[in-house]
A and B are shown apart, each in its own frame.
Chain A
């Protein structure tokens, strides 16, 4: 059986559609103890910011039914150390790299894009706009069409034209397709759907929020139907939208749902926390499911749930 598992996100090609999710693969080294990183379509890095970040205080995590809350606060080394250490190491592993960036201001996004200009070996750029805008009372960029557009536009004007821009959107909005349309106008080539949903757990013994950051991002199988819905909606509104899907994918069948809704690639996040080899297992299961359903190429299955009834 000659099954073509390759995929593309705008003009970036990948040998298979299973990627890590931003912030769920460390620097790559930690996961490389369990499988060769080049077996995945790409490694999506943690969201890199301009400066080193300590992140938030602990507790940072609370398990919830079929999911978890996290409140890490984008702990990371900052763009300088990232470019000096993480990128060359990932390239040495033969991994495809999608760099994720996050800013606190529109200017941060512009500077980060400039810093990534001309860096060899980057397949695509994921712009995490689901973070608080310090210039707008901490309002999340992607929850407001004006700031979402400003952040994407800042990146578009500063990054190499051949690097696809993937706008990562928050599902915590009334109309996610409308935000996607705005980002597309600003220059986004693709969308990462979905980021975590904001949640809270209260400890009934201390009778206070369990996380030091009070709220946290909900991830895991609990949010998968939200991801499927968001992908389906964006694909319906923008029929040629290119989508990197994520949200609770734990098994091959979960990945297939997101693909049928319209995702050309699938990022694996929380499932890796429960099983270091999850991404590889999901990749193999997805391939088998597609073959079983008679597909000869992966791309035929993308958005297949939107086909007209016959």
Chain B
């Protein structure tokens, strides 16, 4: 059952550091940290008690740590985009926020050691480092590709790199790593490293491109999708995207509880602004 371990807690910020274009924030969350899996997300109330921002903001969990009696923590990577995330990144240490989680699906972990490729776009790399650690602990080889528009928007902490065998950086403007998009470099990396599964997180356009490459190479592709959502718990029906079910029928599925981690092959991509022909109930 989805969200079985989810709870709302008053989470204390114990660290808030600017890293490139982003903020790395650590929250004391108690018991729920032990239940968080790579790919899960949390939803945080923003703006304080008399806020005019009525909706929570959803963030993929970067890493979670259960520290037993001293309480669990979750770490987030937050891009100060809009009013809500700017408020959050501006909070001093010891501030408390209302945090609900862990929410949604998590990345599937293979039972056998496999050769995995992790692909992140911008701060979409955040959940991939926790995933890399889990995969490595299961004996998997982990290669990683991170892309962004420019160098400052690559999120790749030094300690995160320990879990990966190779790290390839790409930027649209060539300010770091290879000049181009991640999808330009994937076929070669897949072939050279004999990749068996792809995990990805980032903008929808990037996920779509990776899905096509995964398809061409006949690889399993698990991606964490990002649709704007109001509730994060499956009741508001705003974050839907068309997905093909096991029965072959396309339905408008909620990305918050069918996802955020979904099988890339099941998503009908690039339909923004329309409901695909043949969708159930169209």
Q: Chain A: residues with CB nearer than 8 A to chain B?
A: 23-26, 30-31, 33-34, 51-61, 63, 65-68, 70, 72, 75-76, 78, 212, 220-221, 250, 270-277
- Whether B251 is near chain A, meaning CB under 8 Å from some CB there, is yes
Chain B hits for A23, CB < 8 A: 237
B238 touches A66 (CB 8 A): no
B233 touches A70 (CB 8 A): no
Q: Report A19 CB to chain B, min CB distance, Å.
A: 14
A54 touches B54 (CB 8 A): no
Residue in chain A with minimal CB distance to B240: A58
- Whether B188 is near chain A, meaning CB under 8 Å from some CB there, is no
Contacting B55 at CB < 8 Å: which of A51, A53, A63, A72? A63
Q: Report B67 CB to chain A, min CB distance, Å.
A: 25
Contacting A55 at CB < 8 Å: which of B56, B231, B237? B237
A70 and B98 alpha carbons, distance in the complex (Å): 24
Chain A hits for B275, CB < 8 A: 54-57
B contact patch SS: loop
Chain B window 55-75, contacts with chain A (Cβ cutoff 8 Å), 1 for yes, 0 for no: 110000000000000000000
A33 touches B4 (CB 8 A): yes
Stretch at the interface among B17-25, B154-162, B209-217, B266-274: B266-274
Chain B hits for A272, CB < 8 A: 231, 235
Most buried by A among B2, B227, B275, B279: B275
A274 touches B55 (CB 8 A): yes
Chain B hits for A220, CB < 8 A: 54
- Whether B194 is near chain A, meaning CB under 8 Å from some CB there, is no
A61 touches B273 (CB 8 A): no
Q: With A24-B235, A75-B237 in contact, do A54 and B53 touch (Cβ < 8 Å)?
A: no
Chain A hits for B274, CB < 8 A: 57, 212
Contacting B230 at CB < 8 Å: which of A52, A55, A57, A68? A68
Q: Report A285 CB to chain B, min CB distance, Å.
A: 14
A-B pairs with beta carbons under 8 A, tally: 120
Since A63-B55, A276-B8 are in contact, a sample of 6 more A-B pairs with Cβ atoms closer than 8 Å, ordered by chain A residue number, is: A52-B281, A55-B252, A63-B53, A66-B54, A273-B236, A275-B98
Contacting A54 at CB < 8 Å: which of B8, B236, B239, B251? B251
A3 and B235 alpha carbons, distance in the complex (Å): 32
Contacting A68 at CB < 8 Å: which of B2, B45, B54? B54
Q: Report A39 CB to chain B, min CB distance, Å.
A: 16
Most buried by B among A56, A65, A67, A221: A56
Chain A hits for B227, CB < 8 A: 58
A66 and B54 alpha carbons, distance in the complex (Å): 6
A213 and B74 alpha carbons, distance in the complex (Å): 37
Contacting B100 at CB < 8 Å: which of A54, A56, A59, A276? A276
B252 touches A75 (CB 8 A): yes
A275 and B97 alpha carbons, distance in the complex (Å): 12
- Residues of chain B at interface, number, CB under 8 A: 41
B151-196 residues at the A interface, CB under 8 angstroms: none
A60 and B240 alpha carbons, distance in the complex (Å): 9
Chain B window 1-37, contacts with chain A (Cβ cutoff 8 Å), 1 for yes, 0 for no: 1111011100000000000000000000000000000
A276 and B44 alpha carbons, distance in the complex (Å): 12
B3 touches A63 (CB 8 A): no
A24 touches B45 (CB 8 A): no
B258-282 residues at the A interface, CB under 8 angstroms: 271-275, 279-282
Q: With A63-B53, A72-B238, A273-B230 in contact, do A34 and B45 touch (Cβ < 8 Å)?
A: no
Q: With A54-B279, A60-B240 in contact, do A30 and B257 touch (Cβ < 8 Å)?
A: yes
A274 touches B45 (CB 8 A): yes
- Whether B224 is near chain A, meaning CB under 8 Å from some CB there, is no
- Whether B132 is near chain A, meaning CB under 8 Å from some CB there, is no
A277 touches B236 (CB 8 A): no
B252 touches A54 (CB 8 A): yes
A34 touches B272 (CB 8 A): no
Contacting A26 at CB < 8 Å: which of B6, B230, B235, B272? B235
Residue in chain B with minimal CB distance to A273: B231
Chain A hits for B54, CB < 8 A: 63, 66-68, 220-221, 250, 270-271, 273-274
B236 touches A78 (CB 8 A): no
Contacting A34 at CB < 8 Å: which of B53, B55, B233, B252? B233
Residue in chain A with minimal CB distance to B4: A33
Chain B window 219-261, contacts with chain A (Cβ cutoff 8 Å), 1 for yes, 0 for no: 0000000011111011111111100000000011000010000
- Whether B111 is near chain A, meaning CB under 8 Å from some CB there, is no
16 cross-chain CB contacts under 8 A: A30-B233, A33-B1, A34-B7, A52-B281, A57-B272, A59-B238, A61-B239, A212-B274, A270-B54, A272-B235, A273-B56, A273-B235, A274-B54, A274-B231, A275-B56, A275-B98
